[in-house]
């Protein structure tokens, strides 16, 4: 028994002493020491088991209470993906990684494809100029995608902008544009592409949200509101696929990146605050890599790219939540928008 405990203790950096090495006069302190060590080991093993069991149960729940993985249903060179905002930034990195698996990609964006793409990649990419604030534009682009490439099995709602205004200062048009791009466009693309997925009982819908889904930012309340709403959309869509459309085979994923190098963080009104706060920016390639790994694994769920504690903030005591929000109060300052016309 003592040898077994010694082995476990060594693995976690503790050291036990063989009780036979001491005479009877030393037995009391040694016994207390040994009992404490054993108690720590038991608590450590219990905590580790709890964390592991929680991770397994989370994965089971996220994948519709199914232990089966239907990766075999996916043939990546035979799949068609739609990526909104795929001309540059995170979206372009996502497109490149999809193409590396042989997947054909339709890019819906208001701006043309950047020089980020090579001549070898472009044959698998089709660009459709699309203003995602327009339901008619999205419908026309979707019709063209279906005609040119076939019904998509992957939808990645990546397009997004950021504003830097206080609630009282934001122009109505800037507020409306942000909600149309960051939130309402997701409804429009889902309306277009989900019916074919349901018919085939196969698909993956991925939304790009933010850590702002969990912590509202002063100076970017509109942005935070859309990202929190995307989380509700993700959860509600998952429920409807299971209980209304009887199609749990369709995967749903929401991605919550931290501050990432993009048009949003390059904006002067945001860049200055990030620098003063000492924020370290994620690379768009790293965000895209996490997104594509999730798709290739054919798994549903939430991806948090940043402090793992952030999604749990809403369970904190109110005073602690407010301390966290206060710490971010001056990151977004000034006035401006990253919307492109």
* pLDDT tens digits, 316-331: 999 999 999 998 888 8
Residue 14 clears pLDDT 50, i.e. is over it: no
Q: What is the CATH number of the domain that holds 161?
A: 3.40.50.720
Please tell me the least confidently modeled range out of 99-113, 172-186, 255-269, 310-324: 255-269
Four-residue CA torsion sign, 172, 175, 180, 181: positive
C-beta separation of 152 from 175 below 8 A: no
Is 58 a domain residue?
Answer: no
Q: Which two tokens stand for residue 189?
A: 């693309």
35 CB neighbour count, 10 Å cutoff: 10
CA 116 to chain centre: 23
Tens digits of residue pLDDT in 197-253 = 999 999 999 999 999 999 999 999 999 999 999 999 999 999 999 999 999 999 999
- β-pairing, 104-109 with 301-305? unpaired
Between 314 and 284, the higher pLDDT residue: 284
Instruction: Give the tokens for residue 56.
Output: 């397994």
Instruction: Determine the average pLDDT of the residues in 130-144.
Output: 98
Beta bridge partners of 207: 157, 254
Q: What is the layout of strands, in order, in the sheet containing 125-129?
A: 125-129, 104-109, 80-84, 154-157, 204-208, 251-257, 301-305
Report the alpha-carbon distance of residue 214 to residue 258 in Å, rounded: 11
Q: 200 catalytic, yes or no?
A: no
* Residues 92 and 40 placed together within one structural domain of the fold: no
CB 303 within 8 A of CB 291: yes
**pLDDT tens-digit series, residues 80-128:** 999 999 999 999 999 999 999 999 999 999 999 998 899 999 999 999 9
- Structural domain contains residue 65: no
Tell whether 92 and 170 lie within a shared domain: yes
Tokens 């249903």 belong to which residue? 73
**Which one of the listed residues 97, 104, 202, 227 is annotated catalytic?**
227
What sign has the CA pseudo-torsion 336, 174, 171, 167? negative
Q: What pLDDT sits at residue 341?
A: 53
Q: pLDDT-based confidence at 30, cuts 50/70/90?
A: low
DSSP-derived letter for residue 161 is -
pLDDT of residue 156: 98
pLDDT at position 340, please? 65
Active-site entry in 223, 275, 293, 312: 223
End-to-end CA distance of the chain: 72
- Cα gap 204→152, rounded to integer Å: 9
**Same-domain status, 314 and 245:** yes
| Same domain membership, residue 231 and residue 114 | yes
Residues 35, 90 within the same domain: no
Number of domains in the chain: 2
127 is known as an active-site residue: no
Q: DSSP alpha helices (H): ranges in 63-115? A: 89-100
Surface-to-core class of residue 205, CB atoms within 10 Å of its CB (0-12 exposed, 13-18 middle, 19+ buried): buried
pTM of the model: 0.82
Among residues of the chain, what percentage have pLDDT more than 90? 65
Long-range contacts of the stretch 196-201 (C-beta < 8 A, 24+): 196/146, 196/151, 196/152, 197/151, 197/153, 197/247, 197/250, 198/245, 198/247, 198/250, 200/151, 200/153, 201/247, 201/249, 201/250
- Considering the domain architecture, whether residues 243 and 115 belong to the same structural domain is answered as yes
Taking CA atoms, 3 is separated from 6, 16, 34, 39, in Å, by 5, 9, 13, 16
Whether the pLDDT of residue 177 is over 80: the answer is yes
Domain that holds residue 150: 78-327
**Is the pLDDT reported for residue 13 higher than 70?**
no
């Amino acid at each position: 028994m003592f040898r077994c405990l010694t082995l476990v203790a060594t693995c976690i950096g503790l050291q036990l002493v063989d009780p036979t090495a001491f005479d009877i006069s030393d037995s009391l302190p040694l016994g207390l020491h040994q009992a404490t060590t054993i108690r720590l080991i038991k608590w450590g093993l219990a905590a580790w088991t709890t964390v592991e069991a929680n991770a397994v149960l989370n994965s089971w729940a996220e994948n519709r209470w199914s232990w089966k993985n239907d990766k075999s249903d996916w043939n990546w060179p035979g799949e068609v993906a739609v990526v909104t905002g795929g001309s540059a930034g995170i979206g372009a990195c996502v497109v490149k990684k999809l193409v590396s698996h042989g997947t054909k990609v339709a890019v819906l964006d208001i701006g043309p494809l950047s020089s980020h793409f090579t001549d070898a990649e472009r044959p698998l990419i089709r660009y459709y100029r699309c203003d995602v604030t327009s339901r008619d534009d999205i419908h026309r682009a979707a019709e063209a995608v279906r005609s040119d490439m076939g019904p998509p099995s992957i939808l990645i709602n990546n397009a997004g902008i950021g504003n830097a205004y206080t609630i009282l200062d934001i122009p109505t048009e800037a507020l409306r544009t942000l909600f149309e791009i960051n939130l309402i466009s997701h409804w429009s693309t889902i309306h277009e592409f989900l019916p074919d997925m349901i018919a085939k009982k196969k698909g993956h819908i991925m939304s790009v949200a933010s850590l702002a889904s969990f912590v509202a930012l002063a100076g970017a309340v509109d942005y935070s509101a859309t990202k929190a709403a995307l989380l509700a959309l993700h959860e509600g869509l998952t429920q409807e696929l299971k209980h209304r459309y009887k199609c749990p085979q369709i995967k749903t994923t929401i991605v919550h990146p931290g501050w990432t190098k993009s048009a949003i963080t390059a904006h002067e009104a945001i860049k200055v605050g990030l620098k003063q706060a000492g924020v370290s920016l994620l690379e768009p390639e790293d965000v895209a890599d996490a997104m594509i790994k999730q798709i290739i694994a054919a798994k549903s769920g939430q991806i948090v790219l940043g402090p793992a504690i952030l999604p749990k903030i809403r369970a904190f005591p109110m005073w602690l939540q407010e301390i966290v929000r206060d710490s971010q109060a001056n990151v977004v300052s000034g006035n401006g928008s990253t919307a492109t016309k």
